[in-house]
Structure 1
Amino acid sequence: MNNTIVVGMGEALWDVLPEGKKLGGAPANFAYHVSQFGLDSRVVSAVGDDKLGVEILDNFREKQLNCMIEIVPYPTGTVQVELDAEGIPCYDIKEGVAWDNIPYTPALEGLARQTTAVCFGSLAQRSVVSRETINQFLDAMPKEGTLKVFDINLRQGFYTKEVLCNSFHKCNVLKINDEELVTVSRMFGYPGIDLQDKCWILLAKYNLKMLILTCGVNGSYVFTPGNVSFVETPKVNVADTVGAGDSFTATFVASILKGKTVREAHELAVEASAFVCTQNGAMPEFPMCLKEKI
């Protein structure tokens, strides 16, 4: 497992919360949590030549998080985050920013050829530059034995049926939550059947290795051809839910890469994401007892 490289690709930004700004963006959250399990992870994104961009790079260095971040002539991304009474975030995501303009470079192609697992979403594909870079990266990865995880992450109106359809074809693992599944079902014409049936349809239609469905407090499922794993969501005191889904994905991927079964990986992912919900912000350090299980 020494030469396994895991990449989180897409937005790197500041979540501007009521109590101040926190480093955010699903790819960075994912890569950070993967690195906590001793795997070689990288964040691929872009920042502006500005104070916020410098602070992101400094922050990654402090967290000892490896990255391939290009500096581009656009402002570093920010998101205004308001939390509702239940601690659920609402986002206002600024457009025309650095991570919309991630260039495809020879160095990035070299990284793709060595990448064992990648996680990408729909948000960073809202602009043509980053979308093409993500697609080229996926195509340059080794053909066999890789995990291409599409953590769909629907935000505001920043997705189209075409982008989603292409990503379903490019990935071999789909992660989606119950609300996103309803949206996708409406777009793709699977209304009126239950959530599990929708998952089986997507798994078969796009020839996926796995489909992960998270349903908040109502538990989570991992569908693999011919099998389904269900794990209840533990009851915890929620500080906020920011980054909980990313920690789930990261822990699941790290567990699979370390040879755990789908069921074991699923249980560990639920445990990790429940812990993150008890902490403020998206990148808390996992307790040693959790790291040691993987």
Structure 2
Amino acid sequence: MEKKQSVIGIGEALFDVLPEGKKLGGAPANFAYHVSQFGLNSCAVSAMGDDELGKELEKELNDHHLNYQIDKVAYPTGTVQVSLDANGIPCYDIKEGAAWDNIPYTPALEKLAKNCTAACFGSLAQRNEVSRNTIYRFLDNMPKEEGILKIFDINLRQGFYNKEIITESIKRCNILKINDEELITVSRIFGYPGIDLENKCWLLLGKYNLKMLILTCGVNGSYVFIPGEVSFIETPKVEVADTVGAGDSFTGAFVASILKGKSVREAHELAVKVSAFVCTQNGAIPVLPDEFTK
């Protein structure tokens, strides 16, 4: 990587095996790709196997002009079987013991952390201790000054999470992104009383001293909570091809907008438009129209 990187997606890099074939996937790589479309330096951090799928992964990343720091490890490159229901909503079967479960913490990664202005991470890549420790060390070595963003895009999948992982991650982030179903799950894990979704968000925002909390509710709109203020935007009605990667594109567009000096409301408006567009396309990382990225 020649350019100084500033925005990092760290965690799983893999192939989504969809009905129509393999597509590059993994939330951190999707996030980094969408950030790059807004002209910011971004980088996907993960691990891959020294295998044929690993070569294909490298080729895909290069074809998408995405910077990456993905070490080769003695585990197979990750795959996820994705099946879609009648509404294009994906169901995932995520293979265990993958390369991205074993991301090594290296001097090169520490250097990346020290130059990082924003990092996005989720819960899935923390299912194994090796990658979990690498993610935490990366976050802990990021600069401490004001304006550094640590985004926990919670991304609960199958049974690959627990209370400790969620708690430690929320403590390490300053922006939490969560959907309505995940919020119900987290509230149940944390033992919160049966208050409504908005009050649950205010509770999390205050308890963990977050800069922002983003709540997405599928067709029922999305919210961005900041201390003392909330932005709500309805979800546009579009012809859905599939929703794979829509949430990652939302996060990427939102974070890129904030880093470029846009207001929370402006960032929210663009994120909603971008994720709606991604829903009309097959796969997680379509090229965005110029009207979004100018």
TM-score, structure 1 normalization = 0.98
Q: CA deviation at 1:191?
A: 3.4
For 1:131, the equivalent position in structure 2 comes to 132
Q: CA deviation at 1:190?
A: 1.2
Q: Do the aligned residues in 1 keep the contact of 2:77 with 2:99 (CA within 8 Å)?
A: yes
Where does structure 1 differ by over 2 angstroms across 4 or more consecutive aligned residues? Answer: none
Q: CA deviation at 1:4?
A: 6.3
Residue identity in the other structure for 2:176: L
Q: Structure 1: 5+ residue runs without aligned partners?
A: none
Q: Pick one of 202, 211, 232 that aligns with 1:230.
A: 232
For 2:153, the equivalent position in structure 1 comes to 151
SS of equivalent residue, structure 1 residue 115: coil
Instruction: Map residues 20-169 of structure 1 onto 2, 5 A cutoff.
Output: 20-144=21-145, 145-169=147-171
Query: Following the alignment from structure 2 to structure 1, what is the Cα–Cα distance between the partners of residues 119 and 193?
Result: 30
Aligned CA distance change for structure 1 residues 3 and 61 (closer, same or farther; 3 Å): closer
Q: Structure 2: 5+ residue runs without aligned partners?
A: none
Alpha-carbon displacement from aligned partner over 1:97-139 (angstroms, at most 9, x marks no partner): 1000000000000000000000000000000000000000000
Query: Following the alignment from structure 1 to structure 2, what is the Cα–Cα distance between the partners of residues 4 and 176?
Result: 26
Query: Following the alignment from structure 2 to structure 1, what is the Cα–Cα distance between the partners of residues 267 and 291?
Result: 15
Query: Following the alignment from structure 1 to structure 2, what is the Cα–Cα distance between the partners of residues 161 and 110?
Result: 30
* Paired positions, count: 291
Instruction: Map residues 273-292 of structure 1 onto 2, 5 A cutoff.
Output: 273-292=275-294
Residue identity in the other structure for 1:136: R
Query: Following the alignment from structure 1 to structure 2, what is the Cα–Cα distance between the partners of residues 133 and 153?
Result: 18
Alpha-carbon displacement from aligned partner over 1:172-216 (angstroms, at most 9, x marks no partner): 000000000000000001131000000000000000000000000
Query: Following the alignment from structure 2 to structure 1, what is the Cα–Cα distance between the partners of residues 110 and 42?
Result: 16
Query: Following the alignment from structure 2 to structure 1, what is the Cα–Cα distance between the partners of residues 193 and 240?
Result: 32
Query: Following the alignment from structure 2 to structure 1, what is the Cα–Cα distance between the partners of residues 53 and 275?
Result: 28
Query: Following the alignment from structure 2 to structure 1, what is the Cα–Cα distance between the partners of residues 272 and 163?
Result: 29
Query: Following the alignment from structure 1 to structure 2, what is the Cα–Cα distance between the partners of residues 63 and 279?
Result: 16
Q: CA deviation at 1:3?
A: 6.0
Query: Following the alignment from structure 1 to structure 2, what is the Cα–Cα distance between the partners of residues 241 and 78?
Result: 18
Residue 195 (structure 2) pairs with residue 180 (structure 1): no
Query: Following the alignment from structure 2 to structure 1, what is the Cα–Cα distance between the partners of residues 23 and 62?
Result: 15
SS of equivalent residue, structure 1 residue 119: strand
Query: Following the alignment from structure 1 to structure 2, what is the Cα–Cα distance between the partners of residues 243 and 219?
Result: 17
For 1:18, the equivalent position in structure 2 comes to 19
For 2:253, the equivalent position in structure 1 comes to 251
SS of equivalent residue, structure 2 residue 151: strand
